[in-house]
Structure formats: structure tokens, C-alpha cells
Structure 1
């Protein structure tokens, strides 16, 4: 089954040209199926690029997915056209009475700020609480994951002396986890962040389990059973050239930047990078969608009223 998105959303043509199955609202209405409702709270400045990346991953399963794009109610982006935001995004305050099978909360380039100094922190805390009554499973990505694990468990983000930047090998710490079905013992994941969380803080909480971790860049994927959430601090969703775009941007602007680790062939930034994480990215998000499908209630109104635990 395809992912349901507006036919005039830029991702519709991008994913169609890639062979990803997409359908318009009119097509979806002709199918007598209850789609899996997934919301994307997009905090990244490059909204359209991020839409494409996550729609590509959640649209690759056999299930019909209905994607809703959400923005913070008062915050206004300066990097995406206002017309695009007005046409395709709904402010959180407009959707807060609705229920969703899944929610993805993206990262945001505000790592240097204490959480409480973020202009939309109060509303984001409201969203975190809302997930416990209106969302069956939440996926926090990079800064979004760090914000959630801090809010729910007090796990601090730590500033790094040097940016983690490149492609790092990660170990499969929980082969029996349903979220890691089909995973190899090791996998490569793009990393781009100035902050970290410490494994010993995660280990202090029995509700948290680290599923993927790297000896070089620490914990990556953490399951939070109590809050029906996954937190991933790195970027399976990245395109092949996303790290290259970051490197080229900084190099062109005169910002000191190291060549991303283990990314360009022979560490030569003039050569095209190879994507070595795509298959595991599809596995992870496909497994997440599968777990939602198998554990969510058919009646959306009952989300938040029935069992609060996803299967271990």
C-alpha cells in the first residue's frame, strides 16, 4: 500500500519518480481501509527536504499511511516559503484534539541552547504530554529525541568539544527487539551533532533500553517502554548527499569543518559519497510501522485509553 499525501506536496513527485508508492486523498477515499495515521512534527529548517526523507521511509511498507504535517503554533520558519507552510502544515493547536497512531518529532539546529531557552519549549512540553493521551507511538529524532528523553527521564544532553560528523559503525545491542528485525550485527549510520547523552544515565532507568550504540559516538537508538517511544540521536533518514551539503556549506562559508568521518571514498570530498545505511533505515522505520499496526487499536478514539505498553 502507498503513503497518502497531497498530490501537490513536493514529496509526491519526488517519491513517485523514485518508485515509492504514493496516492492522493481522492484515491485513498476509494479504498475501504483504515490507514495508519502518522504525524510529522517538522522542526528542521529545510522543511521540504525533511518531508521527503521521512515520507520515503514510512511510505515503503505494505500498509496505507496517512501523513499529517504539523508545525509549532507560534514559531514561524524563515527558510521555507510561507505559502508552503500555510498549504501543507497544520499548527499543533489545531490538531491537539485528534489522535494518531504514530508521531515523528524531528531534530532542530538549536543544540547549543538549553532546552528551556528554546522559544517554543513550553508548547513542545505540551506536545510531549499530549503524546501520552493522543499518540500510540512516538519517534523522537536527534534533538527531538534528546528533548524527549530529557523531559520524561531527566537525561541531560552534553556539549561535545568537537562535532560528531560522519558515518559511524553501530552495534546491535538487542537482536531480539522487534524494532531491529532483519538488522545486521553492525550497521553504519550518519551522525551530525554537537551534543551527546551518556549511556550510564540511560542505564539508571529501567524503562529505557539502548538498542543501537557506537563505541565512538555513544548510544543511538533507545526504547522508552513507559512512554511508548523510540529516541534516535543520529540520522538514518539522511539522503546520500546530506552530510556533503553540510560540509560544503561550512567550507564555503569559511567555518572550520573536518571532512566527515568514513563518508567520502578515501576521505576525498571531491568524490561522490556512497550510501551504506539506506537498507537499515528502511528496516527500522518499517519495523516501527509494523509494531504500530500490530499493537494500535482499530478505533482511533481509544488511543490513550487502552493498554499504554507496546509489546517488548
Structure 2
């Protein structure tokens, strides 16, 4: 568990060599930033192959992670999508099961899985996709429980050039309540939610939507943006930055997410992790980003376990 039992600050690691031979050096560098936790990008580590664990690669990761004074979280494959067509869901679940086992073996507490995307279609089709997602996330929560993990379902924004629908934070909160599994909670990605609501023409609802999900959000993805759609051709990421378009993964304070209002208005569960997802392009600001996020976490309103039980 996190050392202070209330909040913690972490940052997502980046893979270096494909064989993970230098991943220990990455973790050494991150520990030097003074974080309490590190998120491991197992989705890009060649550990799960065809739904099965490649043991030598997992052992390389475990060696790099062993003996450190930090907690771990894991971000599994981004492609897992329980709103997909029914015939494909067993394959998604096979990958989830293997990925949860990987997370458990490295001693993680939270496992991040993306919430579903579904193609634009009539309402009955969308609701059927939500029903599929509830069923399979509940199954995933039971596997997570067996491994001592929390399955944290991440907020997304419309993908595939706007041809796929994503849940708003409030809708995801309602879905988690309907699932009702203690091991299925949320990863609240603030920038993803900002982009989602901008796409829907609901930017002004941002703080209220985040308030709806925050009590279920054990895991946070903290990075900044302007919530603007990436809908103009750009030649470089530097141009996207100039326009403020897309999921930029900026340091806190570079975009215009209303962080102070969020900390004043939202209540998060005890043990919440403020995990920074910083694009490698901006890694030169890593210490600045950690310090800014620690300051945010210190102002967060926390729902104590005793209060929640009353």
C-alpha cells in the first residue's frame, strides 16, 4: 500500500531497450524524482504473447522491479475493449487474464484497463455494448480480486476520427455502480475526459462530470491539455503543441485544465494515486511535474474509509 494511506504520487515509466535489460536504470531515475509509485507500461513490453505469458521477459521485468521502495501499478494492453463485438470478447478477456497475472507477479496494486469504445450507431446498439462491458468487467473484477488487484477502468475520448463513442465520466461512474464489484474502480484520466466533453460540446460540464466519477477513482492519470480536438493536419508534435490540439500529455500547468477547481470540488477515495503520464518529449520537466502533482495531491479532498462506511 502507499506509505501515507491517503494519497500518493507516481509517474509512468517508459520502456527503453526491448529486452528490458536497462529498465532498472529507468526505475532508478524515476525513484530519484521522489515518487511513491511507478506505473509499468506492460502493454509495450512483449510479456504477453498470443494471450500467454512469456516467462523470460516477465522475469526480466521482475528483476528490474525487485527490492525498491515504491508501489507499482500496471497499464495493460490499450486494445482491450469489452464493448467490442460479442464474438471477440473472449480474446480480449484472455489478454486481460494474462495481463492481470503479470501485474500480480510484479506486486502491483492497481491494473489500468481502458473503458470501452463502440462505433457510432443507434441507441439500442450502444446500450447492448454497455451491457456486454458490465458483464465482462465484472468477470475481470473477480480475476483481479483473486490476485489482490484493483481493476481500474480508464476514461477515454472519442477515437478513430470521431467514429467511436466513449463514456463520459458520469456515465462511467454509473456503469461502475451497476457492476457493483469492490475490485472494479476507475482510472480518471483528466485530459481524456476533457477531450471527450469537448467533442460532445459539453466543456462547461467538465468539473461536474469529474465530481461524479472522483469517488470511484482510485487511480488518476495526471497530465495537461487544452481539451481541443486533433482535427487539423499537423506535421509535428510541436505544431500540435502550438495549436493545443489533442491528447498532449503535458506537464500540469501547461494546458488549461482547471486543476484548482477540481481539487476544491471533487472527493477522491482513500489511497488514491496521482499518477503522472508525461510524454517523453517533455521528460525534461519530470521533476517540475512531480513537484506540481504532489502539490495538487496535498490539496485533494479525501473520503476516509470510516466516512464511506457511515
Q: What interval of TM-score do these two structures reach, taking the shorter chain for normalisation? A: 0.3 to 0.5
Q: Which has the higher strand share?
A: 1
TM-score, normalising length from structure 2? 0.36
Q: Which has the higher helix share?
A: 2
TM-score, normalising length from structure 1? 0.36
